[in-house]
Structure 1
Amino acid sequence: MANIYPFKGILYKEDLRKASVMAPPYDVISDEYRAKLNKNNPYNVVRLTLPEVYDKAKEYLDNWLDEGILKFDSDCCFYGYTCDYEFDGKKRQLKGILAALKLEEFGKHIRPHEKTLKGPKIDRFNLITTTNASFCPIMGLYDKSHTIREHLSKASSKKPIFEATFEGQLHRLFKITDKEAIKAIEEDFSNKIVIIADGHHRYETALMIKKHYNEQGIKEGGFDYIMILLVEAEDGGLSLGAIHRLIKKLNDLDSFIGKLKEYFQIEEGRNPSADFIMYTDKRFYSLTLKGKRQKGILNSLDSKVFEDVVYKGILKLTDEDIKNQTVSGYAHSEEELIELVDKQKAKVGFILKPMSFEQLVKITEEGLTVPQKSTFFYPKIPSGLVGYHFRSIEGCLDV
């Protein structure tokens, strides 16, 4: 079972709970944007999530807690969260619960959904072991739950403790403090599996941190938990898009298209029933597989078929080649794909269809993972709404 608990979050004082203290996830912030965030508000959370020096982040955190800029919540609580946003021209609302998730190795109750690259974990390791805090929640998915939906609905009908429009999206944070509600949510999760949607590397880093303290003889503490936003997979309002494929280098485009014709029927234009849409030289082409897809849930995914047929079959790329992205590449939207090809930063682009949440859940239930860069979850959760400190869990394990 997945064990989740309420926690005493770190919150900005009430008159600072506004957009100017918020920041995007640390891994999408450029140096220029970081400078802008710092200039907009001297208390912006980016000083804690993306510092130039780790000790400086600890100094800011300690000082802001001493000065009352930040404070620990007086209650052990879950935090309801909503985000009003737009995706593919449609208005949507993401709904979820922020909780402290007890760490365990991937596999039984907590599962990754994709193969991950060996990422720069040492940066987050150094930051969190220096500050003992994190302001960037990971995101997890769970199967349908009437209980959680009911308590989240009740919480979001009340006045939020934080409400701000940041980067065109309306974010709201609510407290869930009722002991019966907390117990009901904990019990409901006791028979659920959590699928990590966003934050695989941060979860793995948290496991490294736990091991680090265990090896020092410290067997338990706040490092045993990670702050997570839990979202119902199919009905939680999260959008699941495709990550499209690029080929950056080709010696002979005509020869490549000739090889594609061995596997695909190719027609000019965009046919919605085609397997892939190719874009090159300012033209679209529809590609339809000549044979049937192989059996198995993974082979129903565009990303798996494309990897097997084009990257590995035609271009003879290895897993290491794909990881290095010298020949291969990715685009998170059709607009980005078209721009990269038109600017000759890529030779060819391929538009893929997104997988469904049903496919994603089934894949993880079977203990499988999808190829790298198969999923694009939106929206991304900003930092600054609430933070987790190793002390946040104190007194909250038996509410």
Structure 2
Amino acid sequence: MADIYPFRAVHYNSKLVPDLSKAVTQPYDKITREMQARYYDLSPHNLVRIILGRHKPEDTGEDNFYTRAACSFQDWLREGVLTSEAEPGLYPYVQEFTVPGPSRARKRRQGFIALCRLEDYSAGVVHRHEETLSAPKADRLELLKATRAHFGQIFMLYSDPEGKIEKKLAACSGGKPWERAQDEYGTLHTAWRVTDPAAIEEVVLAMRDKKLVIADGHHRYETALAYRNDCHAQSLPDDRPEYVMVTFVRMESEGLTILPTHRVVHSLPRFDWSEFLSQALKFFDSEEVHADGGVEKWGQSFLDRMAQAGGDGSTLGAYAKGGKIALLRLRSGAELERAMADVPSGLRRLDVVLLHRLLLEGVLGIDRKAVQEERNLRYVREFEVAVGLAERGEAQVSFLMNATPVTAVWENALAGQVLPQKSTDFYPKLLTGLTIYWLDNPEGM
């Protein structure tokens, strides 16, 4: 049973921070050093100072990134830079964006922000679709302990084919937006605030029978679980650590977008294109494609061919220097069955699983540990970048991917199956700092 709750969001005070776009950030794990520096320059109150501040050589146990984050948070609350709503609410959240890539399609994704009771995965309410690493969770746990606040939302999917919850919230959230910001990728983020008790109760009840799948934010969800468990171990009476801040998006939403993550292979002792294709024929039918001119001339037509072929079965692209490009279509047979025998049935036809098992491991000899450590592998969102790296000789081969279907994410997560690293790239990301869940809010939860 999914338990969601309205809450008194802490947010930026528009009187002191009139341009919210200069204060909010991408999720912490998407912030590069260059982005961090730019955020610092944008505003003295940019949230990067709290979620991903600068480390100093002279840092100590008493004066470090985490203690400075806590001090900045408390200073901004005291100064009124951050303020809390007096009444609990739900926060409908709309993102209007352009899909990266040659198509440049315009889309609109709708969700809502609320608190969600934390559940262990074993309870069968919240489901994950990817593995997590220990280091990021340890870092986020220290920040949570220091600040007692959640600054970004977990991105969760729920199923509502008729869109009843979306429609209810849309009917309650007309008029002037509560918050609005534009990010560095041109995405317009708009949030409203719903405080009507009857409307809130209707949404809470409608969500109660929903299963939830984490789309983005696995590390932060598991960090919140760890903090909750720490509080239990200390027998603390406070129940606020039982909840985490979530943006809920229905999986049937037309605006729900997953981008492909292309795989760029480098630093192999040896790579020969003809030999690679010959070995790949054990599992794939190969069609070499003529790439005439720059990627801007043939890129979109090739992506269209990949997508069309992908509708009939698993399909990958491969590109090497000199305009060598091939369309690889999975073929059935005994070789395939033997190679995939130990793979759960729900994963056997996923492009990323087939690539990792059949080509990275089976043909190129890149084992799972090397993949985890990214010794020979780089992940790239942009198709043109993946092609360019291979063409410049900075990669030996780039594997060009179709996006993982959201239904595959949903079905495998509910079945308890975990997808390979970087299988999904939900776009756009949720803004950090749009709403803040402060566990010590004197106004109440």
TM-score range relative to shorter protein: over 0.9
Aligned to 1:143: 159
Mapped pair 1:363 → 2:415: no
Cα distance between partner residues in 2 of 1:330 and 1:164: 29
More strand by share: 1
- Aligned to 2:353, the other structure's residue is in SS state helix
Amino acid at match of 2:229: K
Cα distance between partner residues in 1 of 2:326 and 2:442: 55
Amino acid at match of 2:46: N
Aligned to 2:128: 112
Mapped pair 1:280 → 2:335: no
- Aligned to 1:211, the other structure's residue is in SS state helix
Aligned to 1:21: 23
Aligned to 2:299: none
Aligned to 1:5: 5
Amino acid at match of 1:177: T
Aligned to 2:284: 264
Amino acid at match of 1:98: I
Aligned to 2:169: 152
Give CA-to-partner distance per residue, 1:9-65, whole Å, 9 cap, x none.
111112325211121222222333323222221111112211231111111111111
The answer to whether the 8 Å contact 1:115/1:369 transfers is yes
Aligned to 1:122: 138
- Aligned to 1:175, the other structure's residue is in SS state coil
Greater alpha carbon shift after TM alignment, 381-390 vs 148-157: 148-157
Cα distance between partner residues in 1 of 2:352 and 2:35: 32
- Structure-2 change in CA distance of 1:288 and 1:235 (3 Å): same
Aligned to 1:73: 85
Aligned to 2:380: 331
- Structure-2 change in CA distance of 1:84 and 1:77 (3 Å): same
The answer to whether the 8 Å contact 2:403/2:424 transfers is yes
Cα distance between partner residues in 2 of 1:34 and 1:365: 36
Q: TM-score, normalised by structure 2?
A: 0.84
Cα distance between partner residues in 1 of 2:375 and 2:37: 31
Where in structure 2 are the equivalents of 1:1-399 lying within 5 Å? 1-15=1-15, 16-17=17-18, 18-52=20-54, 53-87=65-99, 88-107=103-122, 108-144=124-160, 146-167=163-184, 168-218=186-236, 220-235=238-253, 237-250=255-268, 251-253=270-272, 254-269=274-289, 270=302, 271-272=305-306, 273=309, 275-281=315-321, 282-291=323-332, 296-392=345-441, 395-396=444-445
Deviation at 1:309, TM superposition (A): 0.7
Deviation at 1:119, TM superposition (A): 4.2
The answer to whether the 8 Å contact 2:148/2:439 transfers is yes
Q: Percent identity of the aligned residues?
A: 29
- Structure-2 change in CA distance of 1:393 and 1:92 (3 Å): farther
- The count of residues paired between Structure 1 and Structure 2 equals 396
The answer to whether the 8 Å contact 1:6/1:393 transfers is no
Greater alpha carbon shift after TM alignment, 335-344 vs 54-63: 335-344
Cα distance between partner residues in 2 of 1:124 and 1:117: 12
The answer to whether the 8 Å contact 1:49/1:134 transfers is no
Greater alpha carbon shift after TM alignment, 163-172 vs 269-278: 269-278
Cα distance between partner residues in 1 of 2:6 and 2:267: 50
- Structure-2 change in CA distance of 1:31 and 1:48 (3 Å): same
Amino acid at match of 1:279: Y
Greater alpha carbon shift after TM alignment, 285-294 vs 119-128: 285-294
Amino acid at match of 2:285: Q
Q: TM-score, normalised by structure 1?
A: 0.93
Structure 2: 5+ residue stretches without partners: 55-64, 290-301, 338-343
- Structure-2 change in CA distance of 1:191 and 1:392 (3 Å): farther
Structure 1: 5+ residue stretches without partners: none
Cα distance between partner residues in 2 of 1:4 and 1:392: 18
The answer to whether the 8 Å contact 1:49/1:136 transfers is no
Deviation at 1:317, TM superposition (A): 3.4
- Aligned to 1:149, the other structure's residue is in SS state helix
**CA root-mean-square deviation:** 2.1
Amino acid at match of 2:214: I
Deviation at 1:242, TM superposition (A): 1.8
- Aligned to 1:14, the other structure's residue is in SS state coil
Deviation at 1:256, TM superposition (A): 2.8
Cα distance between partner residues in 1 of 2:411 and 2:42: 44
Cα distance between partner residues in 1 of 2:179 and 2:147: 24
Cα distance between partner residues in 2 of 1:56 and 1:134: 16
